[in-house]
Every structure is written in C-alpha cells, then in structure tokens.
C-alpha cells in the first residue's frame, strides 16, 4: 500500500533512557501493513512548525498498534518525545521497501545476521520476530553509558543478541563490527541498520559480498512517498530514493564515496 496519512493515538510512551523512547501508536492500517525495514513519518506538533514529518522505522507491531524507537536528536524528535499518552499524532506510512519487499523476488537466505547501531536496532528487532531461527547471530552496538535501557530491550527481544558499547559500559567494548564474522558465508546475509559510518564500515568489511549485505539508509525527506526526489542517494546505477526505492539497499549497489553524511 502507498503511504497514507492517519491520526494515531499514542498509547504508550516509555522512556528507555535519557533521550530514547519507545512509543506505541494505535493505527490499524499501518500496524497491519508494515513490514520490517519500513518506516513511518511522524509529525512533531499540531501546527506547521516543525513542517516535515520525522522518519522512524517501525520497531514492532502488535494488533492495531505499531511501535517506534525514538532517539531525541533535535527539535522535532524532542517535541515527539514529550507527547503524552492519549495524544493524537499525525502519521504517514507505511513507507519504503523493507527487508522483504526490497528483494524483488530474490529468495530469503538460509541464515541471517542482524547488525544494529544505536536506534538502528529498531527495524532489526522487528525483523527478528518474523525471522525466528533464521537469525543465526545478532549484534547491537551503542555509545555506552546512557544507553543501558535501550540495549537491554534489544537483548530481551532478540534472543542471543550480543551487545557492544563504544565505552565498554556494557556488553563487549567496541563496535558492532567486532561481533561479525571475518568472512561472510555464501548462505548468509547481513541485515544492518545504524549510523552511516557504521554501514560504510560494514560495506568495506565485505567488499566481495555487497549483495549479501543489506543496509537500511537514512536521508532527509519531505514527502516520504517517492514524489519529491528529496531523499535521493547515489547508487552505482544512478539515483535512488531512500523513501521509495529503499530504505533497504544492497551495500554493493551504494556509491559510498558519494554518499554524504546527513
């Protein structure tokens, strides 16, 4: 379904850490249609300032309710974080091609490794629920101190996941890359989401396996529906819209050198 606009009730706003919130919204249409890797755009306030919706990955669905994992990074996310249960929020979604629909008929691999950085854990937590035992390993990395609650949630929801922290506050010290195999077996894919630096490093780690490393990318967006061409990133084949052709891409098709930091 092409994204639509809804008024959704905020049914839970749970603070996981300072600046990180697990927010659940009642919206049957989105909850039923969303697949892992897809995202929604949440409008921060009631007026036209802030003007654009904030893209957030769907982290879970449960009946009529879908959940996002929100990190406060600026004014819009701060306004969203301060919304209270019972408030109504304007949502556009579901947007984009997720880990399944972006495959265009390619069969699922037998084994999948999940690699999440920071709130990039969100779509992978959702995916893990659908993948079951196909997930052979999962690694989630965080800055460290101040991320305990979020890390704990990821660990709870993805059984067997390894935790990493830059400062060593919990899990293993280091980045998520340390939790990944040196070589990527042929029957295995990595599904990843996180800061562009991490994804770039991931792509560089498996130069020959670019079609088996799937990354969920970010870009500034206006429409979130493929119309404005605002979220375009460079692929080796030309421009691609993160919101409609992605956000999930094969690492090997991304022109990493031309990809700007947001």
Partner 1 sequence: MTSTKFDISSRVGGLELRSPVIIASGVWPYERELWSPLRLEGVGAVCTKAVSLNLRAGNRGTRVWETPCGMLNSIGLQNGGVHEFLREGMPVARSSGLPFLVNLVMEAEKDVRETIAALKDAPFEIPALELNISCPNVDGDGMDWGVSPKSAARAVAIVRREWKGPLWVKLTPQAPDLPAVARAAEAEGADALVCANTWLGMAMDIKKKRPAFRRVVAGLSGPAVFPLALRAVWQVCGAVSIPVVGCGGVAGWEDAAAMILAGASAVESGSALFADFNLPRKIASGLAAYGAEQGAASIKDLVGLGRDGRA
Ligand X SMILES: Cc1cc2nc3c(=O)[nH]c(=O)nc-3n(C[C@H](O)[C@H](O)[C@H](O)COP(=O)(O)O)c2cc1C
Using CA atoms, how far apart are residues 82 and 37, in angstroms rounded to an integer?
25
DSSP codes joined into one string, 188-227: EEEEEES-HHHHHHHHHH-GGGTTTEEEE-----SSSSSS
Residue closer to ligand FES, measured from CB, 123 or 247: 247
* Integer Cα distance of 121 and 244 in angstroms: 21
Is residue 67 within 8 Å of residue 22, measured between CB atoms? Answer: yes
Smallest gap, in angstroms, from Cβ of residue 70 to ligand FES?
Answer: 19
4 binds, among ligand FES, ligand FAD, partner 1, none (CB under 5 to 8 A by kind): partner 1
Task: Give, in degrees to the nearest 5, the angle at Cα 64 between 139 and 29.
Answer: 100
Residues 78-97 close enough to bind a copy of itself by CB under 8 A:
79, 82, 84, 86-87
| Contact window for a copy of itself (CB under 8 A) among 39-47, 91-99, 108-116, 192-200 | 39-47
Residue 162 sits at φ, ψ, to 5 deg, of -95, 140
Residue 247 binding result from ligand FES, partner 1, ligand X, none, given CB thresholds of 5 to 8 Å by partner type:
none
> How many CB atoms lie under 10 A from the CB of residue 90?
15
Which of a copy of itself, ligand X, ligand FES, none lies near 84, with the C-beta cut-off 5 to 8 A by kind?
Answer: a copy of itself
Residues 22-41, interacting with ligand FAD (CB under 6 A): 39
**Residues that bind partner 1 in the complex, under the rule CB under 8 A:** 1-5, 43, 47-53, 76, 90, 92, 220-232, 234, 238-239, 244, 258, 260-261
**Residues that bind a copy of itself in the complex, under the rule CB under 8 A:** 44-50, 79, 82, 84, 86-87
């Amino acid at each position: 379904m092409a994204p639509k606009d809804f008024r959704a009730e905020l049914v839970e706003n749970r603070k996981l850490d300072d600046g990180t919130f697990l927010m659940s919204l009642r919206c049957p249409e989105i909850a039923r249609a969303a697949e892992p890797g897809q995202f929604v755009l949440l409008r921060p306030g009631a007026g036209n300032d802030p003007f654009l919706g904030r893209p957030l990955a769907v982290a879970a669905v449960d009946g009529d309710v879908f959940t996002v994992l929100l990190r406060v990074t600026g004014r819009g996310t701060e306004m969203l974080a301060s919304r209270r249960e019972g408030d109504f929020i304007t949502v556009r979604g579901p947007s984009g091609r997720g880990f399944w629909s972006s495959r265009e008929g390619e069969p699922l691999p037998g084994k999948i490794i999940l690699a999440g950085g920071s709130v990039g854990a969100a779509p992978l937590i959702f995916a893990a629920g659908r993948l079951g035992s196909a997930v052979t390993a999962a690694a989630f990395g965080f800055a460290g101190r101040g991320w305990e609650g979020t890390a704990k949630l990821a660990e709870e929801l993805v059984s067997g996941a390894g935790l990493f922290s830059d400062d060593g506050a919990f899990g293993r010290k280091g980045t998520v890359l340390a939790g990944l195999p040196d070589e990527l077996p042929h029957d295995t894919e990595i599904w990843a989401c996180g800061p562009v630096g991490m994804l770039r490093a991931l792509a560089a780690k498996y130069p020959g396996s670019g079609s088996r490393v799937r990354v969920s990318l970010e870009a500034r967006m206006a429409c979130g529906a493929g119309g404005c061409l605002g979220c375009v990133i460079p692929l080796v084949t030309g421009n691609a819209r993160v919101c409609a052709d992605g956000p999930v891409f094969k690492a090997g098709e991304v022109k990493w050198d031309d990809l700007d930091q947001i």
